[in-house]
Structure 1
Amino acid sequence: MEKIHLKDDFIKLGQALKLAGLVDSGVEAKIVIQDGKVSVNGAAELQRGKKLYPGDVVSFGGKEFQIEK
């Protein structure tokens, strides 16, 4: 599982998808999130601004990554 390392206390879901290289832009992130294609900790997430903290696991397109401090 890929890891995303935080510089701050949290990262927003749309930013995390871009950082992980799973989407190319904020617009693409917004679309896939609103379409219910992204899950956080096993539950579909529809908010692009959802704050992710260390330990959270994001799944999209058959790939997963975990947030770490």
Structure 2
Amino acid sequence: MRPMDNTHIDFELRGEYITLDALLKATGLATSGGHAKQLIADGQVLVDGATELRKTCKIRIGQQVQLGDGRITLRAAEV
């Protein structure tokens, strides 16, 4: 599965961080945790513009994740 052209997702983070593989699954850019891990291992995922190969990399508020034309921006959840 590839994200649609120019997909932009604002993801509201409720804790300190989310792991990269869990973020891809939670946003629907990966169909499963295994799929997310494969996308990361294949070097298809960028974090803040750099290729990220660590599946459980901690993604925090303000960071951007990109997969193809899909982009996720993490924001603080409103309380």
Secondary structure in structure 1 of the residue aligned to 2:73: strand
Detail structure 1 runs of 4+ shifted over 3 Å in the superposition.
none
Task: Tell me which amino acid in the other structure corresponds to 2:55.
Answer: R
CA RMSD of superposed structures (Å): 0.7
Percent identical residues: 35
2:17 aligned with 1:16: no
- Worse-matched range after superposition: 2-11 or 36-45: 2-11
Q: Aligned pair count?
A: 69
Structure 2 CA distance for aligned equivalents of residues 59 and 32 of structure 1: 11
Secondary structure in structure 1 of the residue aligned to 2:74: strand
| Unmatched segments (≥5 aa) in structure 1 | none
So what's the TM-score if we normalise by structure 1? Answer: 0.95
